[in-house]
Amino acid sequence: MGTVSGRGELVSLIDDVVEQLEMIRPDADQLARDCLAIDRLLGPRPAAADLRRIKGLASRVAAADPTDGAPVLALFEKLLPRLSDPLKVLGPLVESPDPALVAAAVELLLGPVRRGVRPLDRPMLKILARLAPAAGEAEAEGGAEGGGDWPPALAQAAEVLARDPGSRESLRRLLAGDRDPGIRLLAATLLDREGEPAPADLAEILLGREAHRILQPYLEFTRASHRDLLDLTPGRKPEPSVHRSVAAGEARFGRALLRQLISLIGWASLNRGIELRHRAEVVIPGYPPAHLPLDDAAFLTRAQGVRRGPERIVAVAVGEGPPAPVKGRNGGRSGDPVDRFRRLNTTHADLLAEILDVAPLIPAKVERILGAMDRIVADYSTLFAGVSEECAILPEV
């Protein structure tokens, strides 16, 4: 434990480091010297008051440029073996808005776990849960099999768990029963690392016997992952509308069609149910085609010039949250017709809310309305230019 004079010097050094981090171009050599001096003054058993100052320093590092904070991270790494509760002191690092610093901080905190000095306990799981969404994004963008493009700390956590024979069962319990959505996502992500589908017994625990009996053929066909089971049970229990709507669709249109649709749509997009509708295309000259119930289509085709097109099965899936955005040209605006039509409807809804808003009609609001109208016209023209001559002149109106 440091002396009074030593503690005063420690406070001064920490203040100097904070000042350096607040500069536009910190002196890296001075930072490194100050951090070495802080490490020496802390000694083998840092006092509680000194650890509170280190926690404050960690908060400042979390707000700094990660490259500028490298010498301080090195100090924290040396300090780790002397901390009885590393998360209590260095936890602010994982609150940084910078993903690279968060990943570096988690990797730093995971060091004692990796060396077997500290267990992978719940506080550490909550920290790792912050990296699970990044792992999902890496896989969605075509990352290497087995989590090759995962954040390094998460990949290391998976390796630590792989050495524990009971870890998979522990992760399954977290997925099935934990109340923290982040930890459930982490468990699903780690369980999917091997690339194998989720086992039927776990699916039955999560879904319940009746829902599992109906959904199991479709889970097998899609090789449903642990993440799929998580998507089906966002509130830890599935919505009854899911298996009931699947049973209704199967009874009317057969299993073969339904399983192809589920495979295309994905479990996350139908975790509130799916409805199959039998429709016929009706074409009125000069207008986009409409898909109507068979009786309505038969009635309209009696009119002169109205033509009936092929019959189709329309799937209406309801999910709790939007699917991941499809990246394309023009700033991520996908050219896929389905994605464009979905975006058209969303823009319509946003525009209506903007128009009905009782807020003053300020210039910014007018610009938002005009911008939304331009996007609607552009998407509508692109979608229906092939079936309506009016679409060609809309942008000029």
Domain-located, residue 143? no
User: Considering the domain boundaries, does residue 175 fall inside one?
Assistant: no
Residue pointed to by tokens 């809310």:
353
In a domain, 191, yes or no: no
Residues ≥6 apart with Cβ < 8 Å to 397 = none
Task: State the Cα–Cα distance between residues 133 and 72, nearest whole angstrom.
Answer: 27
| CB neighbour burial string for 42-56, b if at least 16 within 10 angstroms, e if fewer | beeebeeebbebbee
Q: Which of 52, 87, 118 is the last residue of a domain?
A: 118
Of 118, 144, 161, the position where a domain reaches its end is 118
Q: How many CA atoms lie within 13 A of 1 on its CB side?
A: 4
Identify the CA nearest to 328 among candidates 320, 318, 319, 338: 338
Give the whole-angstrom CA distance, residue 104 versus residue 130: 12
3-state helix, strand and coil shares in percent for the chain, rounded to the nearest 5: 65, 5, 30
pLDDT of residue 236: 79
What is the DSSP secondary structure assignment for residue 195, as one 8-state letter?
Answer: -
Contact of 373 with 344, CB cutoff 8 Å: no
Q: What b-and-e string marks burial along 207-219, b requiring 16 or more CB atoms within 10 Å of the CB?
A: bbeebbebbeebb
Determine the structural domain holding residue 97 and report its residue range.
1-118
What was the pLDDT predicted at 240? 92
Domain end position, chosen among 83, 118, 153: 118
| Residue spans of the chain under pLDDT 70 | 1-7, 65-68, 134-149, 153, 321-336, 385-397
Report yes or no on 86 lying in a domain.
Answer: yes
Q: How many CB atoms lie within 10 A of CB 177?
A: 11
In a domain, 314, yes or no: no
- Give the dihedral of Cα atoms 129, 133, 136, 140; nearest 10 deg: 180
Helix 167-177 / helix 152-162 crossing angle, nearest 10 deg: 120
Instruction: Tell me whether strands 274-283 and 290-293 are parallel, antiparallel or unpaired.
Output: antiparallel
Q: What percent of the chain has pLDDT over 70?
A: 85
Q: Is residue 49 part of a domain?
A: yes
pLDDT of residue 6: 56
CA distance 47 to 53: 10
Rounded Cα distance between 80 and 84, Å, is 8
Contact 394, 383 (CB under 8 A): no
- Domain membership of residue 123 (yes or no) is no
Total count of domains within the chain: 2
pLDDT of residue 124: 80
pTM over 0.75: no
Return the C-alpha torsion angle 13, 17, 18, 19, nearest 10.
100
Identify the pLDDT of residue 336: 64
Res 149: pLDDT: 65
DSSP 308: E
